[in-house]
Chain A
């Protein structure tokens, strides 16, 4: 052993004179790093309660607990973290679709009661609630897929030359890929008027089981062909992935499933008890609500007949929606399933007063789903001039094969889906189209996608334009005169109203004016004693929680009853009436009566 090796260790004594490594103050507090993973914080205003944090937590440390009444797009639940289980991996923060969850850089918390270490961040106040620092989501790292698989579409330049469908549809691979983006939070189920089992059928598509997906869809929607193409898709509006990215293409996925099968009878297996054998139901109006009632009652053994005034079932989805969005073969496929299920269909048959009286007498129940067929007028002088027409009439004539007189330059008045449809149909008939709408473009009730498509195809939109009058010009054309409007906020919280700027008149020389500003109910076919009892002055029909009107045995649904005027709400009305009619007929199985779901069609 050398002297060096004996003395060297004593150099440690020199450390007595150097600065200590450790913190000198025993009560000192060292702040956590900028992205330290400490106690959770949650911006509860931003949180939508989707539960993805609870889903990804590998320790099951997160429970979703009710804190509020659920509102649209929000489950009313908020995550509660149990620190007896939490491992501070922060996957919950990274996955959070709304970006509301974070972690503070606070790491010290002393408490005598162990139960305190389970709290709802953002709801139970904590000193670190407003911590600036700590682990947050960061750009460049996502645990969910924010990018939608793009839907292949016809080139806008090609579209106006053809009636072919604009949307081409997902391939199998694209559909599976898109379906894999779903986090299965189920916010969409609550938002869907018919409460379709959306995460379930998306999961089935993801797993490659299209037959299962179709059957899940048919649980509570008999018109998925239509919904897969033209649904107003409130589900996508609340999709949790949509908060920071593109919402799931729920509608296109449904469309994908329905397109995989040519004959639905072979794959849709509605195995329900045929409780309605011997009972008879008549349905007036073959729109979505009527079709829904017919299908679900028919598979339960009811003897169902639909009476439809037009040559084809489908209601507004037949005559209102252009074929480049919802082609005839798709509609026919749906109707075939109805007839295959035993529904009797009488088309080209308008029910009149006496027949209605007879129907009420002969049937166990009658369902009215005639919709809104009377267009609202322009309420401006010149409405009766030749060349001024209603979008609804024009679309209907066009779809039942009548010649439609559209030519030259066309102005469409209105901003809803009907206005857009009328515009795009006119384009394809060879016209040059302008839309005049009272409010701003952001206020247009039509789908954003539809508006974009129309513009891409060459429709010009003039917002804040109030029609003043229509005049005939010398050469047989029309002068559409409109005034500009300014938006005024009259009441807090309501949408601004357009107010005419007096004294300014703009002229537009056109060949046709198409009016598309809404429609109302029309009950002239109904016996007075029924109409008086069930409809109010404006034609609206009120129903109870079973879908039954004030007239015993008469049920109603669709646009007549709800003000949302979309097909899926009509289907929801139909589902309600399916339960109501069974109840009324005294054949509703106990299990379905107790179900909390509006209609759980058990397999």
Chain B
């Protein structure tokens, strides 16, 4: 900001949106300036998390880093777990030993995670517009998925399940049947949700044409995920750089046009259906066998020097881990390339000018900002 711009802003009403505000997505805040109902500028503030995951990992053994990364995105921890495991598997040579079933269970967990995250975000879309019913149903549907997570991984939110060489446990007896029952229950309720979201005149009025992201910004700012798919660009790491068992699954990248809040919500709605379909495919195709490679002693495990970049499609967009090892028993550097950093800081600050004050929360939700990814 130039001095003139700052001087200009001083004369305006200043509004702190967050960090304590139900409309904010997690622990961050937006300092915004108003002219009437319209925001003229906004600056994002992070730093409320006080953690520094990347640094913490440099002082812990590999296995001790594993319970940390799930915290980099609380509602969708599994992408982080997968990426750390994939990176270190590759550098240590364990990747060649990950059993088939282990890879299938990893894919299952990633897809279950996408499903529950999309359910919650879709609830957030409409919750940010102060509508209460649909978010309640969607959160309840998400809890069905969390029940299965609890049964599979021993935890509802922090699963700490995908680890080096595979996963930590096999599927419990009868898991596929219970999963199917839950998927059916979710599918049954989804049309109701459609009624109150996509068919609601209130939502349409507040979402269609609001928060339009220009297509030129996509490569300029490396946007990804539903934001670009809502512009009609079929960009998806699962298809473009397939990993784990995605090449063996049958699915199309969801796209739509409009690039507004509505289009992004619609992409998420379609991806819920896609995840349900993928979970069914995975459970059908999964072979029997071991679920984890034979691990070396995790208290003394060292990995030869090397570096790699691994990526995966989180519900928010492309997530990547740049991992460097130096031959010791601790990781030298982990750099988390997270979509929220781009979407929640750079893109959001550019989108704020001209936005109505009431549309800020829906806009943030439609970017699906996860603040721990910014101050990781």
Contact = CB atoms under 8 A, between A and B. Distances in A.
B300 A182 contact: yes
Interface string B136-170: 11001001000100110011001010000000111
A1 B201 contact: yes
Interface string B33-73: 00000000000000000000000000011011111100000
Interface string B278-298: 000000000000111011111
A441 B342 CA distance: 72
Given A12-B195, A58-B60, A90-B160, A52 B155 contact: no
A138 B291 CA distance: 11
B219 to A, nearest CB: 35
A9 interface: yes
B150 A36 contact: yes
A14 B133 CA distance: 11
Interface in A125-163: 135, 138, 140-145
Contact of B67 (A4, A8, A87, A142): A87
A496 interface: no
Contacts of B60: 58
A34 B137 contact: no
A54 to B, nearest CB: 11
B154 A36 contact: yes
Contacts of A15: 133, 137, 192
Contacts of B63: 56, 91, 143
Interface string A45-57: 0000000100111
A180 interface: yes
Contacts of B294: 142, 145
Contacts of A57: 64
A11 B172 CA distance: 38
B202 interface: yes
Given A87-B67, A94-B168, A12 B154 contact: no
A36 B155 CA distance: 6
B140 A21 contact: yes
A395 B134 CA distance: 89
Interface string B296-309: 11111110000000
Residue from B137, B200, B291 with most neighbouring chain A CB atoms (10 Å): B200
Given A56-B63, A89-B160, A183 B299 contact: yes
A11 B133 CA distance: 11
A34 B297 contact: no
Interface residues on A, range: 35 or more
B199 A5 contact: yes
Nearest to B194: A8
A141 B169 contact: yes
Given A4-B199, A34-B172, A140-B290, A91 B67 contact: yes
A33 B67 contact: no
A574 B301 CA distance: 38
B132 to A, nearest CB: 9
A218 interface: no
Contacts of B67: 58, 87, 89, 91
Interface string B187-205: 0000010011001111011
B204 A5 contact: yes
Given A89-B67, A138-B170, A145 B199 contact: no
B145 to A, nearest CB: 13
A225 interface: no
Given A5-B204, A8-B195, A140-B290, A58 B64 contact: yes
B298 A144 contact: yes
Nearest to B172: A34
Contacts of B204: 1, 5
Interface in A245-262: none
A15 B169 CA distance: 38
Contact of B158 (A87, A94, A142, A180): A87
B297 A182 contact: yes
A601 B106 CA distance: 52
Nearest to A134: B154
B195 A11 contact: yes
B295 A143 contact: yes
A12 B155 contact: no
B90 to A, nearest CB: 20
B188 to A, nearest CB: 10
A7 B238 CA distance: 38
Contacts of A11: 192, 195-196
Contacts of A183: 297, 299-300
A596 interface: no
Interface string A200-211: 000000100000
A180 B296 contact: yes
Contact of A35 (B68, B169, B296): B169
B190 to A, nearest CB: 13
A2 B204 CA distance: 11
A2 B302 CA distance: 64
Interface string A2-39: 10111011011011000001100000000011111100
A408 to B, nearest CB: 50
Interface in A463-512: none
Interface in B246-301: 290-292, 294-301
Nearest to B150: A33
B295 A55 contact: no
Contacts of A324: none
A540 interface: no
Given A9-B199, A141-B292, A184 B151 contact: no
A233 interface: no
Contacts of A90: 154, 160
A562 B204 CA distance: 91
Contact of B200 (A9, A140, A143): A9
A409 B172 CA distance: 61
B140 A22 contact: yes
A33 B173 CA distance: 13
Nearest to B199: A8
B295 A12 contact: no
B119 to A, nearest CB: 13
A94 B168 CA distance: 9
A56 B298 contact: yes
A157 B168 CA distance: 44
Contacts of B201: 1-2, 5-6, 9
Nearest to A57: B64
Contacts of B196: 8-9, 11-12
Contacts of B143: 21
Contact of B150 (A32, A144, A181): A32
B302 to A, nearest CB: 8
Given A9-B200, A90-B160, 19 more contacts: A1-B205, A8-B199, A9-B195, A11-B196, A12-B134, A15-B133, A15-B192, A35-B169, A36-B150, A37-B155, A55-B299, A57-B64, A87-B158, A138-B169, A141-B291, A143-B63, A143-B295, A145-B294, A182-B300
16 contacts: A8-B195, A12-B195, A12-B196, A15-B192, A22-B140, A35-B169, A58-B67, A88-B158, A89-B158, A91-B67, A138-B170, A140-B170, A144-B297, A145-B295, A145-B297, A181-B297
Interface of B: 60-61, 63-68, 133-134, 136-137, 140, 143, 147, 150-151, 154-155, 158, 160, 168-170, 172, 192, 195-196, 199-202, 204-205, 290-292, 294-302
The 8 closest A-B pairs by CB, nearest first: A58-B64, A8-B199, A89-B67, A21-B140, A5-B201, A37-B154, A143-B298, A9-B200
